[in-house]
Structure 1
Amino acid sequence: MAESMLLLDRHDAVLLDLDGTVYRGARPITGVPETITSVRRRGVAVRFVTNNAAKAPSAVAEHLTALGVAADAGEVSTSAQAAAQVLRQRLPEGAAVLVVGTASLAAEVDGVGLRAVPAAGATDEQAERVDAVVQGHSPDTCWADLARACLAVRAGAYWVACNGDVTLPTERGELPGNGSMVAALRAATGAEPEIAGKPRPPVLRTAAESAAAGDPLVVGDRLDTDIAGATATGFASLAVLSGVATPAELLAAGPAERPRYLATDLTALQGKADELEVAPRPGWRVCAEDGVLVASSNGERDAVDLLRALCAAAWRHGTSAVRAGEEIAEAALAELGLV
């Protein structure tokens, strides 16, 4: 029966975000390595698609393997690869590109026939003569690197950002991501970069094509990149609450950032599709009264299931204001941080 179909029976590949979805910093999210092993055993292809441009695909695969998630470089797609392709489509072979980021980002630029000029070793004069600037996350980026990039952009260089993620989920909490550094350069130049990674479709399409997938499932923790990227590409998506996305953000999500499925974390891949969909739920009643969603329990206590029902109602009625109609719902809303 369709209503009892497992989620993995609906999709022929899973395209997994990493930070906040598979791991947080150096620690895997509980149950995720075992879940990915189970996905592979079912014959469903696994691909890792990350907006983090700091590491080469081989390094990402090594990190995953060290965390208990077997992976090889061919299963990894990064925003650094996407940025290099965007640059190559715009620039002639051998063009100079100022690299604000890691050595692996510079290697991707060199690998497509362009000439990487690391910002850390460049002079101001060299910066003003480059054809383009590419900016990716690096914990070593400093003011001098941004200053040289500022000179280059002001001199007319084409500016590509690997991603616009303002934060990076870690075991220490949310820390500044590439988007925060991009915001600083945007403020200093008044210019706007072209974003290469999610939510742009190419990086997700490349990952799906590598798995020969016709109906892949995108899984991620960011609405503005993972879920919006899936929407832009025409793929179904599962939003997880193990990273950046919050219940309040999900209720207020615009059409481009609304996932088909919603779960606490990646272990939901082993669940039933209909139980994970954002839709009215049999265990909860949600009705709209004077622009407010009122929730009541039909005997259910699962807060995330309530969130699925609330999101369906919020997106239908155009309101994210909620209140409890009785004590069980009040406790569930408190658990979701919606009180």
Structure 2
Amino acid sequence: MSRQSRTRPAGSERRLHEAYDTALLDLDGVVYAGGLAIDHAVESLLAARADGMHLAYVTNNALRTPDAVAAHLTELGIPTEAGEVITSAQAVARLIADQLPEGSRVLVIGGEGLRVALRERGLVPVESADDDPAAVVQGYGGPDLAWGRFAEASYAIARGVPWFASNTDLTIPGARGIAPGNGAAVEVVRIATGAEPQVAGKPLPPMHRETILRTGAERPLVVGDRLDTDIEGAFYGEVDSLLVLTGVTDAAQLLRAEPKYRPTYVDRDLRGLLTGQPEVREHDGFFECGGWRAGVVDDELVLTPLQESAAVPGGSAAGGSAADGDPVDGLRALCAAAWTHAGDGVCALDGGKALARIGL
């Protein structure tokens, strides 16, 4: 995939798990939420792997170790080895090790995943700014991370110690909803110090480098729920991507996506790995996918079932519903209309009524 502006979701005659050798799967919001498996995730991943697709789990969450993540996935019903898990903790540890000598002390503001990753690179985790650290690393520490940990980071950074962050995701999906992520915690330290961290996680190159080094993927497909990490990371890595609508990103945000946030494919959930993807076709200035037709009429995004469109040019009459076709096909058509209209920018057209027609 090149970095040219995408104006519509792509189609694929081949099932995605056959067209790509490796799925680079985000975890939170894709495979599970709040620790519980998302509907259809387990059976879809098992089926994809049974047909020969390699599964690798690529997460910006630095809290848990690869062993712990693998054990969790295995408990959910997806037998997984630790080597199939790539975390932003591993990426940031490699980034630090590239700049500091072996045996350097690193002040850890986060969880066990960071400590294990640092030790793997020959670095020594410490807990206090008074332990003479050569660097500070910050990663998601869970909801119980003490406020005083941010003070320790600030004390060390104020002395000129370099600061690293596993990732800067502002939010993280959970069983009860969307919660503050590591990016929110990074902002606390940034405000206190005025400093800027070196960041390793998605969508930045250190995470992509870590993933390719550990998986050896030749035809990877990034699968995620976030435009600003998963999809943007695929864009900069020049690989294809599948956005699933089971996590952070909703349909309205997708319509407003600028080029670097536009996924190659869109689907409701991980069942999309097991199917081909329908083509979005342009006809008379409108875009058709499945049973839906979308376009721009009077500065508004409109969506109409195809059988209705023949009678009502512009597709604005009432009478259609989600029962007229797959709602995700309608969303694909709307994406084509919105992205084409926006070009290299952000679509500012109102798509609320169109999305309401398909319940998204």
1:317 equivalent in structure 2: 341
**Most deviating of 186-195 and 280-289:** 280-289
Matched letter for residue 257 of structure 1 = Y
Q: 5+ residue gaps in structure 2?
A: 1-10, 308-323
Which of 187, 200, 217 is the aligned partner of 1:183? 187
Partner of 2:278, secondary structure, is helix
2:39 equivalent in structure 1: 30
| Structure 1 residues 264 and 255: CA distance shift in structure 2, 3 A | same
2:301 equivalent in structure 1: 293
Partner of 1:4, secondary structure, is coil
Aligned residues: 325
1:136 equivalent in structure 2: 139
Task: Report the Cα offset of residue 212 of structure 1.
Answer: 3.3
Q: In 1, distance between residues paired with 2:199 and 2:300? A: 37
2:8 equivalent in structure 1: none
- State the identity as a percent: 44
Q: In 1, distance between residues paired with 2:40 and 2:279? A: 19
**Most deviating of 312-321 and 277-286:** 277-286
Q: In 1, distance between residues paired with 2:288 and 2:198? A: 39
**Most deviating of 308-317 and 77-86:** 308-317
Which of 240, 244, 248 is the aligned partner of 2:252? 248
Partner of 2:289, secondary structure, is coil
1:99 equivalent in structure 2: 108
1:109 equivalent in structure 2: 118
Which of 39, 43, 49 is the aligned partner of 2:52? 43
Matched letter for residue 17 of structure 1 = D
What RMSD in Å do the two structures reach over aligned CA positions? 2.2
Q: In 2, distance between residues paired with 1:159 and 1:38? A: 42
- Is 1:125 equivalent to 2:130 in the alignment? yes
Task: Report the Cα offset of residue 105 of structure 1.
Answer: 1.0
Q: In 2, distance between residues paired with 1:305 and 1:137? A: 36
Task: Report the Cα offset of residue 275 of structure 1.
Answer: 5.4
Q: Please show how residues 142-161 of structure 1 align to structure 2 within 5 Å.
A: 142-161=146-165
Matched letter for residue 176 of structure 2 = R
- Is 1:17 equivalent to 2:32 in the alignment? no
Q: In 2, distance between residues paired with 1:250 and 1:210? A: 30
Q: In 1, distance between residues paired with 2:109 and 2:84? A: 25
Q: In 2, distance between residues paired with 1:137 and 1:143? A: 13
Contact 2:91–2:210 (8 Å) recurs in 1? no
**Most deviating of 2-11 and 135-144:** 2-11
Q: In 1, distance between residues paired with 2:12 and 2:115? A: 49
- Is 1:303 equivalent to 2:327 in the alignment? yes
| Structure 1 residues 209 and 152: CA distance shift in structure 2, 3 A | closer
Q: Which has the higher contact order (CA 8 A, sep 6+)?
A: 2
TM-score scaled to structure 2, two decimals?
0.85
Matched letter for residue 137 of structure 2 = V
Task: Report the Cα offset of residue 331 of structure 1.
Answer: 4.3
Task: Report the Cα offset of residue 209 of structure 1.
Answer: 4.6
Task: Report the Cα offset of residue 186 of structure 1.
Answer: 1.2
Task: Report the Cα offset of residue 330 of structure 1.
Answer: 6.7
Q: In 2, distance between residues paired with 1:168 and 1:16? A: 16
Q: In 1, distance between residues paired with 2:58 and 2:288? A: 31
**Most deviating of 301-310 and 144-153:** 301-310
| Structure 1 residues 54 and 289: CA distance shift in structure 2, 3 A | same
Partner of 1:309, secondary structure, is helix
2:318 equivalent in structure 1: none
Task: Report the Cα offset of residue 90 of structure 1.
Answer: 1.4
| Structure 1 residues 323 and 57: CA distance shift in structure 2, 3 A | closer
Partner of 1:273, secondary structure, is coil
Partner of 2:208, secondary structure, is helix
Contact 1:21–1:265 (8 Å) recurs in 2? yes
Which of 168, 171, 174 is the aligned partner of 1:167? 171
Task: Report the Cα offset of residue 137 of structure 1.
Answer: 0.8
Matched letter for residue 149 of structure 2 = D
Q: In 1, distance between residues paired with 2:180 and 2:352? A: 35
Partner of 1:134, secondary structure, is strand
| Structure 1 residues 275 and 7: CA distance shift in structure 2, 3 A | farther
Matched letter for residue 303 of structure 2 = A
Matched letter for residue 36 of structure 1 = L
Contact 1:79–1:197 (8 Å) recurs in 2? yes
Task: Report the Cα offset of residue 17 of structure 1.
Answer: 0.3
Matched letter for residue 117 of structure 1 = V
Q: In 2, distance between residues paired with 1:178 and 1:323? A: 32
Q: In 2, distance between residues paired with 1:110 and 1:9? A: 37
**Residues 134-160 of structure 1: CA deviation (Å, up to 9, x unaligned):** 001112321211001011111111111
TM-score scaled to structure 1, two decimals?
0.89
Q: 5+ residue gaps in structure 1?
A: none
Q: In 2, distance between residues paired with 1:219 and 1:306? A: 21
Which of 267, 288, 291 is the aligned partner of 1:283? 291
Contact 1:222–1:243 (8 Å) recurs in 2? yes
Contact 1:260–1:277 (8 Å) recurs in 2? no
Partner of 2:30, secondary structure, is coil
